[in-house]
Every structure is written in structure tokens, then in C-alpha cells.
Amino acid sequence: MKWHEHRLDLGARTHLMGVLNVTPDSFSDGGRYFSEAKAVARGIEMARDGADIIDIGGESTRPYSDRLSTDEEMSRVIPVIRRLSREIPIPISIDTYKSKVAREALNAGASIINDISALRLDPRMAEVAAEAGVPVILMHMQGTPDNMQLNPRYDDLLNEIIDFFKDAVKRCKLAGIKEHRIILDPGIGFGKTFDHNLSVIHQLKKFQVLQKPLLVGPSNKAFIGKILGRKAHERDTGTMAAVAACVMNGAHVVRVHNVKLSVETIKVIDAIRRERVNETVLG
């Protein structure tokens, strides 16, 4: 995937997206990097640790979270993006569903749009992405952050998500977004139960029918906490297990909080996967 001065060779190895929450209330690390200086320092640290993308968000989208005004969201993320883009060579993505925030973030130095609504909540988002010529990450979510975990139900989980993505890709193409700049995220923890999340990770390979890169974000999610009985900031071990499963099952990009541990986990799993491919070729 090439655009502007950036390139992601998604077929060669699994890529890593580092999460940078510039919020006081994120479920995993709320408040830790809320100041501009701490956020910039953390972004530089993640890049040095081996992140391929830094994903910056100013509004928490945890279940039942309150929505933030556009101006407040921009006041949190734009200064960080502006400073960080001068310090690191890797692409920065803006985690937002608001077109105005995305446009200003791109002007400040971001070069990817990561939209939890798959461009549905703001009709101008697709236009912003198309005009900028940047990759878009389309996430599946049943409902909105306000209500997505009230009672998520599916008749056919995987096929319903696949149909959702087919419609999302069509919207992108109609808006002028190049198909080779689309990345799909099945939305772990967004409108899904404990069992739904496990099924999505277990059956990731079914999404290969869409012929698009897959991004998965299992980091510190509640399903890990339920299995281990751990709080969000105590789930590194469980997260690494989930990351390994995602990579083994076909994820091209994994979105994580702990970049350093994830880099090592991914290197090992990628090596194992290459060996399996070699065996198949030689066999």
C-alpha cells in the first residue's frame, strides 16, 4: 500500500499500530497521555519500539461513553499530531468519525483515517478521505458506542459482518476512494458479546473473501479481562495471546497499546507462519 511518502508492505510481515489515546477517560490508559508533551513523548517512544503506524484519538469510544464536541476533540489531537508528525517518519492515523476533525488532522500531518463508523456517522468523511488520497480503516460496529453493548445479537455473525463490509467498500468506491487504500477492521468489542469476539478472531480467515487487508484490535479488551479476571492495565499477557491468534489467523495489522511486547510476539508468530508456508511449498 503506497500513498504520498508512505508505504506499508502488508504482504511481507504483520504490521503494528500503536494506540495513543489523548483522553482522560479511555478504558485502557485514560489520562496517562492526556497532556500534549506526554502524548508526543509516548508517540516517539512507540515509533522507536517498532510501531509501523501511530493511531491518535481524542474521544473515548468505550461502551456507554459520552460524545465529545468537535472543537474539544480537535483541541486534544491537532497539537499532538502537528508536533509528532515532525518527529517520526511513520504514518499517523487519526481515530475519529468526524469529518472536520479528520480534515484538520490531515492538514496537521496525519495520513490515515481510522473511522469506527466505517464512514457512516458523518456523510462528509468519505469526501475528505477521497480528496486527501489517504488510506481509510473501516470498522464494523453494531449500533453506536452509546448502545453497542446493550444487547448485541446476530443471526449469522461472520456473514453479517462480511455483508456490512461489502456495503462499506461500495460506499467508498462511489465516493472516489481507491479500493487499494481500504483496510477492514471487524471491530473487536464493538457491538459484540464475549463469544462473538472469540468467534471473530477464531474465524478471521473467512474475511479473506473480501480481498482487503485486515486490521484487528484485541488489545486489553474486556473479553481478555473476562477470561483472566484482570483489569484493563493488567492484560498484557492475555493481549499477547490474542495478538498471536490474530496474526496466525490472517491479520495484516494489529492495533495495540504495548508496542514493545507486541513487536516481539509478532516477530515470533511471523517466523512460524513463514515456516508453515515453506513446508507447504516444499511439501
SS3 per-residue string spanning the chain: CEECCEECCCCCCCEEEEEEECCCCCCCCCCCCCCHHHHHHHHHHHHHHCCCEEEEECCCCCCCCCCCCHHHHHHHHHHHHHHHHHHCCCCEEEECCCHHHHHHHHHHCCCEEEECCCCCCCCCHHHHHHHHCCCEEEECCCCCCCCCCCCCCCCCHHHHHHHHHHHHHHHHHHHCCCHHHEEEECCCCCCCCHHHHHHHHHCHHHHHHHCCCEEECCCCCHHHHHHHCCCHHHCHHHHHHHHHHHHHCCCCEEEECCHHHHHHHHHHHHHHHHHHHHHHHHC
76 is an active site residue? no
Residue of 103, 206, 221, 235 with catalytic role: 221
Give this prediction's pTM.
0.93
pLDDT at 143: 80
Q: What is the pLDDT of residues 5-24, one digit of tens each?
A: 999 999 899 999 999 999 87
Q: What is the pLDDT of residues 261-271, one digit of tens each?
A: 999 999 999 99
221 is an active site residue? yes
Class at the top of the CATH hierarchy for domain 12-282: alpha beta
Q: What is the pLDDT of residues 225-248, one digit of tens each?
A: 999 999 999 999 999 999 999 999
